[in-house]
Structure 1
């Protein structure tokens, strides 16, 4: 339940505090006094679209703060805590929305806060559905929509009906996806066949050449070695001669590097008996000798194995050319070619299984169609049951709203074809008076009639024993009494008061007949300061007693001090108390 709303620099409101209590609260005041801005502020708190143009002229930003008291088992409370919100000491939840004015280089940014934590605007909108239901002139227009009428009937039908609807929508979405895939497979049959043939050709080529992992790298090294065999032999032989010497080369064994190092080692070892430093150096020189000897041995072995093999070179080059034909088409190297072949094989299996996939999808689509038919029949049965009950409940309410003889009829007929919301077309028709033909709400109802029908439906949804509609803690009506007067206005007030029993209803009204039924009457006025009209903290008053009579008299005649109007206002208050 909303406990209070605080508004700053929004429209004509400079600063206002709107305290709210359980029951029926009406908001009245002269045209342009700022009543609409109160609802604009509430809309911002509920995640509505922010308009920088609503920021008061001269203000840097507008701010709206609301305080909500929630039961401990509330889904709103759970969602708020999930978003990181913190509760005040009294257990209430504070919602804040700010809107910056548009300035050069600024786009009028809006920010939202929930329980002291900055949250996306969508979080406020998410919890708004559980907190408040708002009805205004736009909602009356939407009631003309068959979709809105279907939603009202489904809400009235109850939670079990909603569960069937949810299952139907899920099955509908799955079937749409299956049918789309089935259509794609069928339409792309030739394209898939061409793709499969190209994959088979490529895989056949890969299979014929049969590349091995790393083969291209190994072949490159082997070809390089075979192509430079003589250069390699000369380099290895020369190095071997320098290390160990060889007759006929000018490097005898005594002049070879290994012999010279051995000579140095022996000299150091002899002297090392007298100096540890030289002894250590002798050891290091000995190690160098061992390395030279090992290198010479390896060179000799290398020379024995190294052979010029033109036939093998030609074979290796032809093999590399085969591999190159693959890498030109399927990858930068053999590794990528093998990866392509693996993926192509899996894709080919999928393509070759096209007929099987088509059969499986067709079977799945048929199964889902049968499920939709079953669920759709349950939805139709639920709507038919709820239609008669809702029509009866609303008709009863209309009789109390000075529309004696009026009837609401709810028609549920088969649609041309099933859709995402079932296989029915729901239409509400109004018989405005006895003997009149039934006409669709979208065509035959006047503004005043539509206001009362909407209120009757809302009361039926909220209070009828058979209704399964979710009832929020707070209802807000913006001039729901438009186009209504006289006895009808009195009955609108009576029904709003009935709706407020056990809950909270906030109504913006111009009718004294409606305002007389309020448990709390708030009046909005404007002050003139610094050459501009503005609503200040003191301009939102909770009126009682004689002050309330004066306000009702003003609403009735435009003159709050008129004796006749005051008498009429007092009579309205008395009648409203008797009626309740």
Structure 2
């Protein structure tokens, strides 16, 4: 939009006429709405003040289009067919005032958007299907989701859709909590439920992990015991290998020595070399006695026997000095086999296996400590459940105290709206589905369900709204609820889209009074066809369909006091009102002014 069309500039002109704006408003307020190329609207700029602003016009003039634009500026879904024919895009802007402590300011700051007294939101809707529109918040780009988040709670659009929402029991607890002033208790319950959910999730993880660890306990203990008993030393395998190599060589030597000893010394069955040499020497000496020429040979044989005796003695002494125990060799081989297996299993070296022993010990110790962790987690879950049950009990008590009062006050408000004999009952029921007998199921909004039951006529049983209330009854019931909750709900601005549909006569006057009461606590923009409601407005916007340049367009403007009389007279007497209709309109305006003075 060009600068002269910016709502902020429009607001300044309107503010000058309505008086100075407070430095920081007590409640958030919609200050202006600017629309271009939206449905039949080429361009509309409207400024709003506190209290009730009524919007009137003939059926089909485009009043609901204004509220649809507001919905889009609150993050509603956009469709290309909302763009005015021939335009590339629709452009929408809204300017809000924010109190100093309003949550929207905190949400802006959290998202790193400028946060001050004003919130300016802009949105474009492209005409081309599939094209993406643009959203800005205080001059910075945003998404529709962020727009919804930032504007949450600023405006409530009450229309036939909200009437259907009122029929949904899931919304009734929030209504009761608003009436009870239990917003902080509701937040406490939601936080307690969040903590309980997190604690239960943590416990589930810890229990599963503990079970997996317990499955490894026996294996861990066996591995630790085996490694501890092995008493691994760095370099031990190399030492064993060298010792075994030497001992295996010694074993072969022992075999050779044993064979040599057997040949030299002989045995019981077969004489050895020394014995045979002794016999040979004796035989030769006997022969030498007969033939002296054999004496030299006998001496040489004696020398050979002596050498053999010396060799046998030295061999025996050598064997005594060197013990080659086969059992010791087997023990060393077993030890080397064990160490090699452990090292191969636990890292490849003695150092790695020793480090693995430390790891296994730590894991085994962790199982014991994890049991303590599980106990602590179970304790935390029990404490979270106790806190959630306490929060649910406190919230439930507040709800029970408020339920009867809300039932009485909404029933009384319905009577004021012309529904004498109608009755509303707020019924609470404990949540027990999916639980064991006697147990409660906790939800983020408490331990009970809340449902509004309705009886439109005396003597009829109270039944769920969705099954019994008509559209007109739902309209008045919604207004009755809003009237009772006026000042209690955090929402500061209501957009009522023909909430008064289907009423007339005395009921219309009562509906007008109810809307006026709501507007004393909230800013209200109300689309209406009722003269009594239109007369209650602090400001009156006329929405009309006109022909310009061969095209039908929607225009909207705020009416002067004299123009208001004429507009209300048309609501009373039709398109061509007569003197009586004008007099009736003037009388309605005088009564509304008198009501304001009395208030």
Q: TM-score, normalised by structure 2?
A: 0.67
Match of 2:136 in 1: 113
How many residues are treated as equivalent by the alignment?
A: 468
Residue 411 of structure 2 corresponds to residue 385 of structure 1: no
| Secondary structure class of the residue paired with 2:451 | strand
Q: Can you give the 5+ residue segments of structure 2 that lack an aligned partner in the other structure? A: 1-28, 239-334, 433-439
Deviations 1:366-386 (A, max 9, x none): 333333333322222111111
| Secondary structure class of the residue paired with 1:418 | coil
1:64 Cα deviation from its structure 2 partner: 0.9
Mapped to 2, the partners of 1:338 and 1:509 lie a distance apart of 86
Mapped to 2, the partners of 1:339 and 1:542 lie a distance apart of 85
Mapped to 2, the partners of 1:338 and 1:554 lie a distance apart of 98
Larger Rg: 2
Q: TM-score, normalised by structure 1?
A: 0.69
Mapped to 2, the partners of 1:404 and 1:336 lie a distance apart of 89
Match of 1:518 in 2: 537
1:337 Cα deviation from its structure 2 partner: 8.5
Q: Can you give the 5+ residue segments of structure 1 that lack an aligned partner in the other structure? A: 220-314, 464-468
Mapped to 2, the partners of 1:363 and 1:83 lie a distance apart of 37
Match of 1:13 in 2: 41
* 1:157-556 mapped onto 2 (5 Å cutoff): 157-158=180-181, 161-183=182-204, 191-197=212-218, 325-326=345-346, 347-353=363-369, 355-416=371-432, 417-420=440-443, 421-463=445-487, 469-501=488-520, 503-529=522-548, 531-535=550-554, 539-556=555-572
CA RMSD for the aligned pairs?
3.9
| Secondary structure class of the residue paired with 1:426 | strand
Change (3 A) 1:178 1:62: same
Match of 2:9 in 1: none
Match of 1:68 in 2: 96
Deviations 1:98-125 (A, max 9, x none): 222325xxx3323222222223434432
Mapped to 2, the partners of 1:150 and 1:462 lie a distance apart of 17
Alignment check: 8 A CA contact 2:472 2:501 kept: yes
Mapped to 2, the partners of 1:546 and 1:201 lie a distance apart of 99
* 1:90-129 mapped onto 2 (5 Å cutoff): 92-103=118-129, 107-129=130-152
Mapped to 2, the partners of 1:61 and 1:189 lie a distance apart of 60
Mapped to 2, the partners of 1:390 and 1:113 lie a distance apart of 40
Mapped to 2, the partners of 1:46 and 1:125 lie a distance apart of 6
Change (3 A) 1:407 1:472: same
Change (3 A) 1:205 1:487: farther
Change (3 A) 1:49 1:326: same
1:78 Cα deviation from its structure 2 partner: 5.2
Change (3 A) 1:398 1:184: same
1:569 Cα deviation from its structure 2 partner: 3.5
1:522 Cα deviation from its structure 2 partner: 0.8
1:149 Cα deviation from its structure 2 partner: 0.9
Change (3 A) 1:527 1:198: farther
Deviations 1:65-101 (A, max 9, x none): 122233445443454466555589xx64422122223
1:150 Cα deviation from its structure 2 partner: 0.8
Mapped to 2, the partners of 1:335 and 1:10 lie a distance apart of 79
1:514 Cα deviation from its structure 2 partner: 1.9
1:322 Cα deviation from its structure 2 partner: 6.8
| Secondary structure class of the residue paired with 2:431 | strand
1:317 Cα deviation from its structure 2 partner: 13
